[in-house]
Amino acid sequence: MKPWQVQLQNSYKSLTQVILDYPHLKNKLNPLLEVEKKYPIFIPKRIMNRISKDINGKLAKQFLPQLDELSPNGLYDPIGDLKNSPTNRLVHRYENRVLFFPTSKCPINCRYCFRKNEISSTDKIFSKNDQAIEYLQDHPLINEIIFSGGDPLILTDNQLDAHLESFVKVKHIKQIRFHTRFPTIIPDRIDNDFQLMLSKYLDRFEIIFVIHTNCTEELDDEVKASLSKLSKNYTTLSQSVILKNINDSSESFYNLSKALLELNIRPYYAHFPDDVLGAQHFKISKHKAHQIHSDLRQKISGHSLPVFIFENNSNTSKEYV
Ligand code: SF4
C-alpha cells in the first residue's frame, strides 16, 4: 500500500477513536456523538493532530461535528444535481461539459459539504463507466469531463488510468478536469506514480486541477509542496466555500488568494454556501458575501479575483459576481 493509502486506512472513523487518542478532548467531543450517528466523521490523522492543537480553530470548525447539524432546516439536494443526472454517474447541466462521479468517497468529511446528505448515506467506488461512455458518444458537443465525487483522487492510479483510457475513445473529449481536496488533506496523494500515470495523457487531453481550500490555515508546508508539484505541471485553479466564522472576511480571502498565487494557483471560484440540510450554521447573508467581494476587488486585480457564485437548486437562479 502507498503512504497515502495507509493514511486513508488509518483515518479516524468515529469520535470514540479520537477520544481514545486525545482523552483531553473527551468533554468537548462527547456531546457530539449524537451528531455523528447522522453525519459520520472521517478525519485523517495528520488533520486530527492539527485540530487537537486548536480545538476551536478553523480546521476543527470544518471537520468536527457540531450540534447545529441536527437542525431540520435546509435541502437534501440543494443544487438539484439529482434531477440533472442522465445516468447515475453523470450530471449534465451545461452544453459542453459533464460532471463525472467515479466515487462517493472523500479523504475527509467536510461538515459544510453540499453533498453531505448523499455522501453520508453512500460509500462507493465505481470501476466501470460503460453507461457514461455511451451517453458521451451520443453527445458530441461535450468536450470536457469534470471528475468529481466524492473526491476522484481516492481512486487508485490504476482505476483512474482505466477511466482516462476509456475517455480517450470518445474523440470529442478534449479536456479532463479533476476537482479534488486531496492536496490539502493528504498531500502525499500527489506522488510520482500518479504524475507518471497522468503524463501518458498529456498529448491527448488538457488536464486541469481545481483544488478545494478555504483558508490559509490549511496550507502547511507539506500541502504547499504538494500544490507546487501540481501547479508546476498542470493548470491549477482553486475553489472555496464562503463559510461563517471561517473565511467570511475580505482579509481571509485576500490572504488565501495571495498564498495561492505564490504557488502559481489561480483563485477560481468562491461559492456562496448552499441551502444544505445539516449545514445551515455555515451560511452568511448574501449582502455580506457581496461586501466581501467588493472589498476584495479593491485589493486584488480582476484576473486573480475568484468569481463569487450564488446558486440554488434551480438552473435559472445561478448568479456570478
Ligand atoms: S471533499 Fe468535497 S465532496 Fe468531499 S466532503 Fe469535502 S467538500 Fe464534500
Instruction: Indicate whether 264 pLDDT > 70.
Output: yes
Question: For the segment 38-94, what is each residue's pLDDT rounded down to a tens digit?
Answer: 999 999 999 999 999 999 999 999 999 999 999 999 998 787 666 666 666 899 999
Instruction: Indicate whether 120 pLDDT > 80.
Output: no
223, 184 Cβ separation under 8 angstroms: yes
2, 193 Cβ separation under 8 angstroms: yes
Q: What is the DSSP letter of 306?
A: P
**Domains identified in the chain, total number:** 2
Question: For the segment 207-251, what is each residue's pLDDT rounded down to a tens digit?
Answer: 999 999 999 999 999 999 999 999 999 999 999 999 999 999 999
In a domain, 234, yes or no: yes
Q: How far apart are CA 58 and CA 313, in angstroms?
A: 28
123 and 176 share a domain? yes
- From 23, 42, 70, give the residue that closes a domain: 70
Q: How far apart are CA 236 and CA 217, in angstroms?
A: 19
Q: Which residues pair with 223 in a beta bridge?
A: none
In a domain, 77, yes or no: no
238: nearest Cα among 220, 251, 219, 152:
219
Where in the sequence is the domain holding 239, given as residue range(s)? 82-320
In a domain, 268, yes or no: yes
In a domain, 276, yes or no: yes
Q: What is the pTM (predicted TM-score) of this model?
A: 0.93
In a domain, 295, yes or no: yes
SS3 state at 41: coil
| Terminal C-alpha separation, the chain | 44
156 and 64 share a domain? no
Instruction: Indicate whether 318 pLDDT > 80.
Output: no
In a domain, 76, yes or no: no
In a domain, 75, yes or no: no
- Over range 286-299, report the average pLDDT: 95
52 and 86 share a domain? no
Question: For the segment 297-315, what is each residue's pLDDT rounded down to a tens digit?
Answer: 999 999 999 999 987 655 4
- Residue 130 has a pLDDT of 79
**Residue 136 pLDDT level (bands cut at 50, 70, 90):** very high
- Residue 314 has a pLDDT of 53
User: Ligand 1 centre from 138 Cα, in Å?
Assistant: 30
- Over pLDDT 70: what percentage of the chain? 93
Q: Select from 77, 119, 153, 211 the residue to mutate for testing ligand 1; criterion: most ligand atoms less than 8 Å from CB.
A: 119
Q: Is 110 in the pocket of ligand 1 (CB under 6 A)?
A: yes
On the 0-12 / 13-18 / 19+ scale of CB atoms within 10 A, 186 is buried
- From 70, 99, 119, give the residue that closes a domain: 70
Q: Select from 106, 111, 178, 186 the residue to mutate for testing ligand 1; criterion: most ligand atoms less than 8 Å from CB.
A: 106
Cell representation of residue 2 = 502507498
On the 0-12 / 13-18 / 19+ scale of CB atoms within 10 A, 265 is buried
Which of residues 100 and 128 earns the better pLDDT score?
Answer: 100
170: nearest Cα among 199, 203, 144:
144
How many helices (H) and strands (E) the chain has is answered by: 14, 9
At a CB cut-off of 8 Å and minimum separation 6, what does 229 contact?
Answer: 190, 195
225 and 112 share a domain? yes
In a domain, 42, yes or no: yes
- Residue 23 has a pLDDT of 98
134 and 274 share a domain? yes
208 and 247 share a domain? yes
Can you tell me which residue has the cell 476522484? 152
266 and 122 share a domain? yes
What CATH number has the domain bearing residue 255? Answer: 3.20.20.70
69: nearest Cα among 214, 260, 282, 253:
282
Nearest CA to ligand 1 atom 8: 113
Instruction: Indicate whether 287 pLDDT > 90.
Output: yes
